[in-house]
Homo-oligomer: A and B are copies of this chain.
Amino acid sequence: MKLLNVDSVSGAKDKLSHYFADLSLDHEEIDTCASLGRVAAADIISPVPLPEFQRATVDGYALHAKDTFGVSDSLPVFLELIGKVEMGEVTQLTVSSEQAVYVPTGGMIPKGADAMVMLEYVEQMDTGTIAVHRPSAPGENVIMRGEDLKEGTCIIKKGRRIKPSDIGALAGAGIARIKVFEKIRVAVISTGDEIVDPFGSVPLGKIRDINTYALANMVTEAGGIVTFKGVLADDFQGLKDQLLSLLPDNHILIISGGSSVGQKDVTAQVIDSLGPPGVFVHGVAVKPGKPTIIGRAGDTALFGLPGHPVSAIIIFKIFIETLMNQMTCHKGRENISLMAIADANIHAAPGKETYQPVLIEKEDGHNLAKPIHGKSGAISLMTRADGYVRIEQNKEGIKKGEIVQVTLL
């Protein structure tokens, strides 16, 4: 076994990005309608301008804006009403100066007109004449061809996770199918002779498997697909055989547990036995989560996570979600975190980057971050937490009243 030093979190992230830089995902073309939450594998360009023709954004009259300059209630302008645009129909009308045409919201603006005046500022004098009581500026109440999206503009950037409004925009541009990254395939394993299936009978001394269930659902939430989920004994050969059979079909294998000294060695030794480069992070200066292992075999990333649920969940957020985002070129919502005011002093672990679970409460329109304490084996800590606060490795801690950034869980 190689001797490895404990890495800082940023050091481990650098190695992650270096060792997995060439891991790539296949692309697949899917229906736009089925793309919610998927990640775009290429920039998506609009083949058409949006809208495709100049449209009214209000009910009213299309006219020459300059005809209305200076008009008012007491000094209206009279225009010749030459016709009406039917909703959804092409109009052949042309509006000359001192003329107007009725256009409903969404209707096509006839040639010549450069503004719409709203219905409520117009009085119809007779079938062929209107009085306009309000001036309008060129472009007012009109959406120009391509004003929303120009033809050839990028609608969705590569790496974006598709939101509902994105699907609306793709529909608006008539794009029926899009290229997305295949879902990242992940196997989630708990090890430990004491860990048993949670829904069967549990002899005293055994512990129900928590991590497989929490981690598998984190994979799903992060957009991955769980191909295998199970508890394995802490046996070198058994674990090795299982991992070997999972390698070809998975991008990521997560092995949690093995938090006792003997078990920790088995996970690292098995990863090292699968082929180069093996384990390249063995221990991270982070609290909680120090006994974290990261390695690679073939084109598969392997993570050995601590057995304590809180540690496993936080390490997943720090490293595995980061890798999943890296593989899909997705920026994540890392650049969006919640600002809150620390409601109590938060202590940092000396020499370690510290992740403190917090609850968010609102007070006088501000977010308060309340640290939640408990042993890292306590899953109830995570069900109560809204997120966590990160304290850098060399910071002493956070004082009550300081503004902190909360990453939501």
Contact = CB atoms under 8 A, between A and B. Distances in A.
B164 A221 contact: yes
* Identical copies of this chain, number: 2
A75 B205 CA distance: 35
A57 B204 contact: no
A147 interface: yes
Interface in A334-384: 335-340, 360-362, 365-367, 374-380, 382-383
A307 B106 contact: yes
A304 interface: no
A59 interface: yes
A230 interface: no
A383 B53 contact: no
Interface residues of A, number: 101
A82 interface: no
Contacts of A218: 164
Given A165-B409, A383-B163, A105 B378 contact: no
A32 to B, nearest CB: 8
Interface stretch (A65-73, A191-199, A243-251, A272-280): A191-199
Interface of A: 32-33, 36, 50-53, 55, 57, 59, 87-91, 104-108, 119, 143, 147-149, 155-156, 163-174, 176, 192-195, 198-199, 202-218, 220-221, 234, 259-263, 307-309, 313, 335-340, 360-362, 365-367, 374-380, 382-383, 385-386, 405, 408-409
